[in-house]
């Protein structure tokens, strides 16, 4: 067989291969497009849920420094024995 006789078969094969690759690319592109749309919908729903959760959460209450609760009393309780002793010491030595 001469090379010119095989040329049309090769051209048909290349065209057929191009058509198959083109269709495969379209299918892959369509799948990627669908997945991106689903991802966008999912992100939108998450944003809405987060915004609703933030709206339902109460606002933080500012805490004044004088209203902080100490984990344990740093000074003796007024009226107690230790308080009276400490007060008596400060009366004797005010410095």
pLDDT digits (tens, 9 = 90+) for 9-59: 788 888 899 999 999 999 999 999 999 999 999 999 999 998 888 888 887
Q: Give the pLDDT of residue 22.
A: 95
Please determine, for residue 77, whether its predicted confidence score (pLDDT) is greater than 80. Answer: no
Higher pLDDT, 23 or 89: 23
Cα within 13 Å of Cα(80), Cβ side: 8
Q: For position 84, what pLDDT does the model report?
A: 62
What SS3 class is residue 22? Answer: helix
The Cα–Cα gap between 72 and 40 comes to: 52
């Amino acid at each position: 067989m001469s090379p010119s006789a095989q040329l049309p078969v090769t051209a048909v094969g290349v065209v057929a291969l191009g058509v198959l690759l083109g269709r495969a690319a379209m299918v892959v592109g369509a799948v990627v497009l669908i997945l991106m749309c689903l991802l966008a919908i999912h992100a939108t729903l998450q944003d809405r849920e987060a915004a609703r959760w933030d709206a339902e959460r109460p606002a933080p209450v500012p805490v004044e420094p004088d209203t902080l609760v100490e984990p344990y009393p740093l000074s003796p309780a007024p009226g107690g024995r230790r308080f009276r002793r400490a007060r008596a010491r400060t009366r004797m030595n005010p410095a």
